Amino acid sequence: MKLLSAYGVALLAAQAAGVAIKHRINGLTLTEHPDAAKRELLQKYKVKALGFNCVSFYVDWALVEGKPGEYRADGIFDLEPFFNAAKEAGIYLLARPGPYINAESSGGGFPGWLQRVNGTLRTSDKGYLDATDNYAANVGATIAKHQITNGGPIILYQPENEYTSSCCSVEFPNADYMQYVEDQARNAGVVIPLINNDASAEGHNAPGTGKGAVDIYGHDSYPLGFDCANPTVWPSGDLPTDFRTLHLEQSPTTPYSIVEFQGGSYDPWGGPGFAACAELLNNEFERVFYKNDFSFQIAIMNLYMIFGGTNWGNLGYPNGYTSYDYGSALTESRNITREKYSELKLLGNFAKVSPAYLTASPGSLTTSGYADTADLSVTPLLSNGTGSFFVIRHSDYSSEDSTSYKLSLPTSAGTVTIPQLGGTLILNGRDSKIHVVDYNVSGTNIIYSTAEVFTWKKFSDSKVLVIYGGSGEHHELSIATKSNVTVVEGSASEITSKQTGKAVVIGWDVSATRRIVQVGDLKVLLLDRNSAYNYWVPQLATDGTEPGFSTQETVASSIIVKAGYLVRTAYVEGADLYITADFNATTAIEVFGAPSNAKNLFINGDKAKYTVDKNGIWSTEVKYTAPDISLPSLESLEWKYLDTLPEIQSSYDDSLWPDADLDKTPNTFRELTTPTSLYSCDYGFSTGYLLYRGQFVATGNESTFLVDPQGGSAFGSSVWLNGTYLGSWTGLYVYSDYNATFDLPQLEAGKTYVITVVIDNMGLEENWTVGEELMKTPRGILNFELSGREASAISWKLTGNLGGEDYEDKVRGPLNEGGLYAERQGFHQPEPPSQNWKSSSPLDGISEAGIAFYSASFDLDLPTGWDVPLYFNFGNSTTPEPYRVQLYVNGYQYGKYISNIGPQTNFPVPEGILNYRGTNWVAVSLWALSSEGAKLESFELSYTTPVLTALAEVQSVDQPKYTARKGAY
């Protein structure tokens, strides 16, 4: 608590995808992007530039303890490079290691082997608690090592995740359980404050509630919901109004904290796509909903997600597809071209320079007293002369009207009716503003401003305040000064001003052309919102090149830079001012407040010629000439082909396959309806495709075979009898399992037959509701019936990834590969032994049901100094024949495409997985779920706008190549 009050400014956090962690940087989660250190660094400057000072990250237990008792957090799963990168960027971290994380991840982060634990998950049952100990001790120790008290960036620790909902008569909330999880952290050496995230504001485990209480109570909120299919609809009543009241009831002694506030939305298989989610949760949503949070005096605000990333390597749960873009401010391919990024930057930087906001007294929302129309509602945060804030919005929050209004605000100069100089204020539809009163700009009192504050800075010889308004709006500003107003840039005729006693009042219509007015030693930049988007406030490093943490921003020094796409960092060395920035177009650059000792300007290491105008603004330009990018045609690679379903050949030998011979299941979720367990996790297979082989000796009287495979939402399944294709379930989002009955050909009495069943395992269910035990929902075969026969007539074998929990690929981790023959052999890795494979391309495909595997290599030679997002694009399916594709890039699974369900056809693969200057291996598995076969209709490597980048060269992750695997079958 002391720690927090010392910050002095709102702690703005953002969840991002992380390293061994899922890529959930809601602000930050690790693991998604294996090339952790460098790439996370990149994300962090993008988050830091928003004015945010913290990133939260999940750790995905399933990725670091694939085998019970073996915690492995090295290579791409190492958390420490990520922690170091955060420190370097000056970003605090909120650690969210679970053990349960939800996060739209397979099992909600629980490893598959938890299906075998005898004990209710997320309760104090011993079986479950024991299972968590090894992970908690290991991850806890690593976090402890990097907490702020040890010089690291981690300031908060969140035990559990959305511990809020229960069913089925389990004890809830279970104080012993929550205390156990907290003790695990404390016993591992974690001393920083514990914060929780109740899924909704219900007060669970708030301070003062006894055993299991955390230090800081927080809750989550996704008020606009997840209906991306209707991205312009704001249903009535979705805007929260009671958060402050609940806070005062539930946890009045702690900073008001929303640990996950909506930053986007998930999207299911077959959904409308993340572009639609980004539209639903767009810049207007941010303006109205985030400012509404500010009206409650939010002190810790964490957005989920700021960067969602990719469900690579089977990381996701069944209801989501490969992309976890989330419609976030940072897109899956890491660009910041969505307007919501820019809008967020305006708000984040405002919070950073407005510490008075945290000490004002929030009042109640009112439709009278401040605005002169009941169409508008205002929430005041009042102080007596030391900074008041008035959050204004439409009373009908979803209104699309433009409403004229006058304000009556209490100020140190008495109650003023605004505008004083004529004109009218306007609030456009789906907008909200924070009007400031008695706002302290380094000793100058802004009596009020109807234009919103982006930032202000005190430089050695002047002060700069940057304010903005929407296009077409009229604004007014009043400053306590006797100085005159001089328009030092732009046309004076458009600006009115008047001395009134001890203040000056300035009125103007917003223009796309910047105006600067000078009042005493204060320069005020009058901008329109779109222009404000181009301004950045990099914090000058006090020592060296790294900015350091920025919660003390009001005292730390920064410069203000007008540029374009992104400004990352700024630092001074002797007489040289260095700026690092990214460009997606030729960009004029201006520097405000260059330190007086700085004489030379360097941009991305190159010395720049600049001019200085009469206002001391440095100007230069960075030229952008798009580089030549030539990408190989994937369609014309030398593809090698392998039938990856040898199991249906008569000669196939499955003697090395594990027997499905458990006559009891340890899984308490569902009783067996088969003589032996056919639940894959009972045998250690919890990820990727599953294969079953059932052998029986025919009597000749069998006429049908029924099978009920379960793979999760949108799963598919195909069934063969020996080499004869019986049929497929091609998948629908609403089916997690599907009972299919197949007619059999006439079988020969006394002959041995094998039924082969292939199942697409879409990941394990989450376990959100305690007691429901959904995570234990089995994968595999729930039931089967061979007509006229006892179930015991069939003896089953099964496989998933080679070795199951003794997984082969320690580098790419326990979830990356599934059970196809080619995957078991490791042929999805670089340099498979394909010399003698047939030449055939996935564009040719196969002409009957089956599963084909293709591998090819290509070289890339992309220019250095450019950030070029690359995508593998499958095109839109136009054929009725359904097929499923897995995309492997240098051995990492980076895409699952389902032609008949979608919606994703375009799969970004980051640099570092792809070698931008070197050889790459791509593999594709193509599963045809129809007797017509299937082929890819198109397959292309494409790119979007190359960004001239300050980013250091990306080092590729380890990409072990194929070596023959011992015991592979």
Of 263 and 869, CB closest to ligand NAG:
869
The one catalytic residue in 162, 182, 332, 476 is: 162
Of 296 and 307, CB closest to ligand NAG:
307
Interface region with ligand NAG, contact rule CB under 6 A, candidates 330-338, 368-376, 602-610, 711-719? 330-338
Compute the least distance from the CB of residue 895 to ligand NAG, in Å.
Answer: 13
Q: Which of 331, 539, 801, 855 binds ligand NAG (CB under 6 A)?
A: 331
Of 854, 826, 830, 828, the closest CA to residue 840 belongs to: 854
Pairing, β 218-221 against β 257-262: parallel
Measured distance CA(718)–CA(645) in Å, rounded: 11
Compute the least distance from the CB of residue 918 to ligand NAG, in Å.
Answer: 23
At a CB cut-off of 8 Å and minimum separation 6, what does 237 contact? none
Instruction: Write the burial class of residue 193 (CB in 10 Å: 0-12 exposed, 13-18 middle, 19+ buried).
Output: middle
Q: Which of 666, 675, 875, 960 binds ligand NAG (CB under 6 A)?
A: 666
Of 415 and 655, CB closest to ligand NAG:
415
Interface region with ligand NAG, contact rule CB under 6 A, candidates 27-35, 326-334, 755-763, 883-891? 326-334
**Could you say whether residue 676 binds ligand NAG (CB under 6 A)?**
no
**Could you say whether residue 619 binds ligand NAG (CB under 6 A)?**
no
Of 492 and 774, CB closest to ligand NAG:
774
Compute the least distance from the CB of residue 393 to ligand NAG, in Å.
Answer: 25
Write the binding mask 842 to 871 for ligand NAG: x where contact by CB under 6 A, - elsewhere: ---------------------------x--
Compute the least distance from the CB of residue 678 to ligand NAG, in Å.
Answer: 16
Residue 907: its H or E element: strand 906-909
**Could you say whether residue 309 binds ligand NAG (CB under 6 A)?**
no
Of 494, 476, 486, 473, the closest CA to residue 523 belongs to: 486
Q: Which of 668, 699, 840, 938 binds ligand NAG (CB under 6 A)?
A: 668
3-state DSSP call for residue 137? Answer: helix
CA distances from 338 to 341, 842, 965 (A): 6, 34, 45
- Cross-sheet strand order for the sheet of 717-721: 724-729, 717-721, 752-759, 690-697, 795-799
Of 378, 420, 423, 425, the closest CA to residue 403 belongs to: 425
**Could you say whether residue 956 binds ligand NAG (CB under 6 A)?**
no
Measured distance CA(47)–CA(306) in Å, rounded: 8
Of 386 and 619, CB closest to ligand NAG:
386
**Could you say whether residue 783 binds ligand NAG (CB under 6 A)?**
no
Of 655, 649, 764, the closest CA to residue 319 belongs to: 764
Of 341 and 753, CB closest to ligand NAG:
341
Measured distance CA(526)–CA(896) in Å, rounded: 49
> From start to end of 629-751, where are the E strands?
640-643, 690-697, 704-710, 717-721, 724-729, 740-743
Compute the least distance from the CB of residue 337 to ligand NAG, in Å.
Answer: 5
**Could you say whether residue 386 binds ligand NAG (CB under 6 A)?**
no
Compute the least distance from the CB of residue 906 to ligand NAG, in Å.
Answer: 7
Compute the least distance from the CB of residue 504 to ligand NAG, in Å.
Answer: 22
Q: Are 699 and 789 in contact (CB under 8 A)?
A: yes
Q: Which of 134, 337, 552, 600 binds ligand NAG (CB under 6 A)?
A: 337
Residue 573 designated active-site:
no
Residue 162 designated active-site:
yes
Backbone angles phi, psi at 47, to 5 degrees: -75, -45
Residues 867-926 that bind ligand NAG (CB under 6 A): 869, 908
Of 355, 288, 338, the closest CA to residue 53 belongs to: 355
Of 231 and 845, CB closest to ligand NAG:
231
Q: Which of 230, 367, 384, 876 binds ligand NAG (CB under 6 A)?
A: 384
Q: Are 562 and 617 in contact (CB under 8 A)?
A: no
Interface region with ligand NAG, contact rule CB under 6 A, candidates 105-113, 133-141, 324-332, 762-770? 324-332
At a CB cut-off of 8 Å and minimum separation 6, what does 269 contact? 319, 320, 321, 713, 714, 733, 762, 898, 901, 902
Q: Which of 182, 293, 325, 489 binds ligand NAG (CB under 6 A)?
A: 325
Of 86 and 622, CB closest to ligand NAG:
622
The one catalytic residue in 65, 104, 182, 260 is: 260
Compute the least distance from the CB of residue 357 to ligand NAG, in Å.
Answer: 18
Of 58 and 326, CB closest to ligand NAG:
326
DSSP string spanning 767-779?
--SBTT-GGG---
Q: Which of 29, 106, 205, 335 binds ligand NAG (CB under 6 A)?
A: 335
Q: Are 33 and 77 in contact (CB under 8 A)?
A: no
Measured distance CA(283)–CA(285) in Å, rounded: 5
Residues 926-945 that bind ligand NAG (CB under 6 A): 944-945
β-bridge mates for residue 96, sequence order: 58
**Could you say whether residue 682 binds ligand NAG (CB under 6 A)?**
no
Compute the least distance from the CB of residue 310 to ligand NAG, in Å.
Answer: 10
**Could you say whether residue 332 binds ligand NAG (CB under 6 A)?**
yes
Q: Are 41 and 80 in contact (CB under 8 A)?
A: no
**Could you say whether residue 333 binds ligand NAG (CB under 6 A)?**
yes
Of 646 and 666, CB closest to ligand NAG:
666
- SS3 for 922-951, per residue? EEEEEEECCCCCECCCCCEEEECCCEECCC
Measured distance CA(740)–CA(727) in Å, rounded: 9
Interface region with ligand NAG, contact rule CB under 6 A, candidates 329-337, 344-352, 468-476, 593-601? 329-337
Instruction: Write the burial class of residue 414 (CB in 10 Å: 0-12 exposed, 13-18 middle, 19+ buried).
Output: exposed
**Could you say whether residue 118 binds ligand NAG (CB under 6 A)?**
yes
Q: Just list the catalytic residues.
A: 162, 260
Where along the sequence are the contacts to ligand NAG (CB under 6 A)?
118, 325, 331-333, 335, 337, 384-385, 666, 668, 869, 908, 944-945
